[in-house]
Structure 1
Amino acid sequence: MRPHHLKNKALATLAALALGAAASAHATDIRVVSSGGFAQAYKDLSGPFEHASGDHLISEWGPSMGTTKNAIPARLARGEQIDVVIMVGDALDKLMAEGRLEPGSKVVLANSPIACAVRQGAAKPDIHTVDGLRQAFLHASRVAYSDSASGEYIKGQLLEKLGIKQQMEGRAAQIPATPVGEIIAHGEADFGCQQRSELKPVQGIDIVGLLPQEVQLQTQFSGAVVRGSGHPEAARALLRFLASPANAGAIENTGLAPAAALH
């Protein structure tokens, strides 16, 4: 190869390296904590976001409420450095009112219905009617529900609506931190209910259906920028990306109703 060609090639290589270094210098680490209901959708979309933006997502998980150390309110209370939270809308609104999130940064991402499941291969109860759901609870030896929004609804309202609150005492338990589907898959409960999007990724269970509409609860999942974030613009860009109509299909595939379909 001629000397000037070698020189041009070297210059081109140096230019490419310089561009790569510049891109790396401008890449941002965005720290995100998501609750379980939106976790699979977030996981599926994190790669495309990183590819499109050049930014890097540092992701962790925790419930929207409760007293476990990973719960999002507990993380913020002890001052963890987080840029974005994705969680149940009502719990997010409470944190916004407390001044822990950037005003005006809330973005609605999806709605999630509650579904119920049994261990894979077990007989599937018919829960399409309220009476069928009632019988499914009563015939189960052990019932599991979560310590987040769906579980709070089941414990505080659904069992009362079904008229079986007393009958289920000692047989129905709220599970802290662990997905309900995993409890069922491991044989620690033979029936349980949680957000459909949280049950779908779990191996070893069969989803038997959604709660009947008369007693269904749709839970909103939203995201917001944490107050004091070091990268507020990158954090907002992530939330815009997650809520984009172009990504509605990916969100719907996880069992959620995407924000684009809510308007």
Structure 2
Amino acid sequence: MAELPRTAEPARARLSPRKKQRISRGIQYAVLIAALVGFVFYADWPSLAQNFAKPDVAAHALPDLFTIALRNTIIYTVGGFVLSAVFGLLLALMRLSTVRPYRWISAIYIEIFRGLPALLIFLMITFLPLALPGFEVPFGTYGQGILGLGLVGAAYQAEIFRAGLQAVPRGQIEAARSLGMSAARSQVTVVIPQAIRIVIPPTTNQFVALLKDSSLVLFLGVSGQYVELAKFGNDLASQYANATPIMVAGITYLIVTIPLGYLAGRLEKLKGTGR
């Protein structure tokens, strides 16, 4: 008896890329939810509250947190930002200069200070009096903190300014020169004002970075009326053998940095839409 011809097996249904993506996301969400549920049920909440959220310790930290620690953090950050902006603009102009030594000096500085950890810069500042006998940084402890933040921030700010200066259309410079302006005057009156508007969003992000880097001031050995948020929280945590002051300091950082980060994002969007 002749065998019946075999029918072709139906091809297996293949998952579309979108369906695969949905399945992958579903698995990720399931794992995340399982981890959260496990943490909620198995965490020792009384112990966590006792060690990280003790009300009486937090209440003791609050007055000086704002009048000393936050104030000093703002002083260090704003001072370092101003220094880094001025020095960074100078480095950016040197980097774009037609004079080779200027370009070399700027490039070397930027590469060195972007390559070194910021902590090392602050540690070097503490040894300046030994390396340069008789030399004192102006404004004492405040000056040392501002100098450290300014030196580190200038390297990054220089690259931000350089990108902004290069983003200004060449025709703007040529138009200024055709009106009889010198190269220096065209830079000051035409190029730099436009570049500053361009670099506002990344400069805001750089300010946030300096705000967080201000915690490195504690390695200068600051104490008393010169402490910033990180040092303040660490000292109180050691005094009370409790991490609540560190949590309070961290929340204070977030209260300042999150709105600034949101502002930077909004400015970036406005820049992208050309408004």
Shorter-chain TM range is under 0.3
Task: Flag the structure with higher helix content.
Answer: 2
Q: Report which of the two structures shows the higher radius of gyration computed on alpha carbons.
A: 2
Task: Flag the structure with higher strand content.
Answer: 1
TM-score normalised by the chain length of structure 1: 0.28
TM-score normalised by the chain length of structure 2: 0.27
